[in-house]
Amino acid sequence: MEKSIESIWKDGFQNDKGMSAPKVNDIYNKKSIHIIEKFEKMFTVNIWGIVIVSSLLFITSYFTGALFAGSIVLTMMLYVAYTAYHELASLKKIDKSQNSYTFLRSFKDWINRSVDRYGKMYRIVYPVLILSFYIGIWFSNTFTDVREIVAANSDALFFGLHIYTTIFVIIIAIIMSVFSKSIHRGDVKTIYGRILKKLDMALAEMEELSH
Amino acid sequence: MSSDFYSSSILPYAAIIIKICRAYTNTQEDFEDYYQEVCLQIWKSRNNFRGQSEWSTWVYRLTLNVSLTLLKKQKKSHSQISDEMLPEIPEEPGVFEDESLNQLYSAIRKLSEVDRGVILLYLEEKSYQKIAEIIGTNPNNIGVRIKRIKERLKKLLDGKVY
C-alpha cells in the first residue's frame, strides 16, 4: 500500500543520521570574509576611480592651457593611487586562516593604520592639490577674460595672481592640511561607512558571544 | 553564545530547526550555514522574546523567518548574475537513510516558500491554531491550504508534476 506523507515523515525520522545537528562554531567565518571582500572590491574601484579622474583632469588641463598644474595634480593623484595599491596588497596579506574574530580585528587594525597613514599623506596632498587647481584654473585659457578684468580693476596683484583671493586659497589649503586626518576620516566614513558599521557590529557581537 | 544557552534553549528544538533548514536548502554547505545563522539569530534576538507565546513557537517562527530571509538573499544575489554565468545548483543526493523521506523533501522543496513552512509544521503535528500563529495567518485558512499542499505533494511524489 502506498504510504501517506505523514507516515513517510514519521518513519523516516526514526533514528536518522540526517538529523545530527551541525557544529555551531566559527559562525562569522563567511560573514567576515564577505565584509573584507566587499571592502577590497570598493577599494579597488576607488583606486581605478582616482586613476581615471586624474587622467581626465590631465587631458582637460592640456586643452585649457594648464598643463603644468595638470601634471602636478596627475602626479599627486597617481601617488595616492600607488599608495592605495600598496595598502590593498598589504590588506590581502591578512591571514584568512585565523579565526574570524582575529581576522576581523586584523582588518580593523589595518583600517586604523591606513587612515592614519593617509591622514599624514594628505597633509601634503590636500594643499598641493588645492593650490595646483587654483593656479591652474587662474592661468588657464578659459580664465583669460577674468584675469584681464581683474588686472584692469585691481592693484592687488602678485605675479599675476589676485592677492586677496590667493591669501584666501592659501588659508583654505592650510586649514585642510591641519585637519587632513579628520577630513580623510570623514571621507572614509562616507565611502565605506556601511561596511565599517557592519564590521563594528560583527566584532561587538563576537566579543559578546565569547563571554 | 554560552554552551548553556545552546544546550538549554536551542538544542531541544534542533530537530525542527534542522527539518526546516533542510527544506530551504539544496546542499549540505547551505544547510549548515542556515542552521548556524538560525542559532545565531535566536541568541541575538533572545531578549526580544516576551513570553507571549511558547519559546518553541517563537523558535519555529524565527527559524522560518531566517530561512526565508536567507533564501531571498540567495535569490537576489543569483539574479544579479546572468543565467549563463551561473549554473543551477543541483540538489545534492538525499541525506536521509530513508529514500522515501529524501523524495518527500525533494518534493517539499518544489513548493512555494510559505507552503514549505506550513507543511513542515503540519507534519510536526502542530495544531492549525499554532501553525497560523507561527506563520502569521488566519487559522481558518490553514486546513484548506494544507489539503491543497498535500494534493500537490502527492502529485509531485507520483511524478505528475515537475
Q: What's the CATH code of the domain at B65?
A: 1.10.1740.10
Crossing angle between the packed helical segments B139-157 and B113-123, to the nearest 10 degrees: 100
Shortest Cα–Cα distance, A27 to chain B (Å): 6
Structural domains of chain B, count: 2
Q: Who has greater pLDDT, B52 or A211?
A: B52
- Same domain, residue pair B12 and B82: yes
Whether residue A12 is contained in a domain is answered as no
Report d(CA A142, CA A140) in Å as an integer: 5
Whether residue A5 is contained in a domain is answered as no
pLDDT-derived band at A25 (thresholds 50, 70, 90) equals low
Dihedral, CA of residue B29, residue B32, residue B33 and residue B34, to nearest 10? 120
**For A28-45, what is the mean pLDDT?**
83
Whether residue A115 is contained in a domain is answered as yes
Crossing angle between the packed helical segments A5-12 and B99-108, to the nearest 10 degrees: 120
Report d(CA A170, CA B105) in Å as an integer: 72
Q: Who has greater pLDDT, A182 or B97?
A: A182
pLDDT for the residue A47 = 93
Which member of B17, B33, B95 has the closest CB to residue A18?
Answer: B95
Shortest Cα–Cα distance, B18 to chain A (Å): 7
What percent of chain A stands above pLDDT 70? 91
- Same domain, residue pair B43 and B61: yes
User: What residues make up the domain containing A133?
Assistant: 30-209
Three-state DSSP at A210 gives coil
pLDDT for the residue A17 = 58
**For A70-97, what is the mean pLDDT?**
88
Assess whether pLDDT exceeds 50 at residue B65. Answer: yes
- Same domain, residue pair B28 and B75: yes
Whether residue A113 is contained in a domain is answered as yes
pLDDT-derived band at B80 (thresholds 50, 70, 90) equals low
Which member of B1, B98, B150 has the closest CB to residue A12?
Answer: B98
Structural domains of chain A, count: 1
- Same domain, residue pair B54 and B112: no
Whether residue A7 is contained in a domain is answered as no
Whether residue A40 is contained in a domain is answered as yes
pLDDT for the residue B149 = 93
Domain end position, chosen among B58, B86, B114: B86
- Same domain, residue pair B76 and B116: no
Whether residue A109 is contained in a domain is answered as yes
- Same domain, residue pair B2 and B81: yes
Rg (CA), chain B: 16
- Same domain, residue pair B64 and B115: no
Contacts of B9 in chain A (CB under 8 A): none
Q: What is the pTM of this model?
A: 0.60
Mutation target among A3, A10, A24, A27 for the B interface, most CBs of B within 10 A: A24
Query: A11 vs B104: CB contact, 8 Å cut-off?
Result: no
Locate A76 and state its grid cell: 599627486
ipTM above 0.85, yes or no: no
pLDDT for the residue B63 = 92
Query: A5 vs B44: CB contact, 8 Å cut-off?
Result: no
Whether residue A58 is contained in a domain is answered as yes
pLDDT for the residue B161 = 47
User: What residues make up the domain containing B149?
Assistant: 93-162
- Pairing mode of beta strands A157-158, A161-162: antiparallel
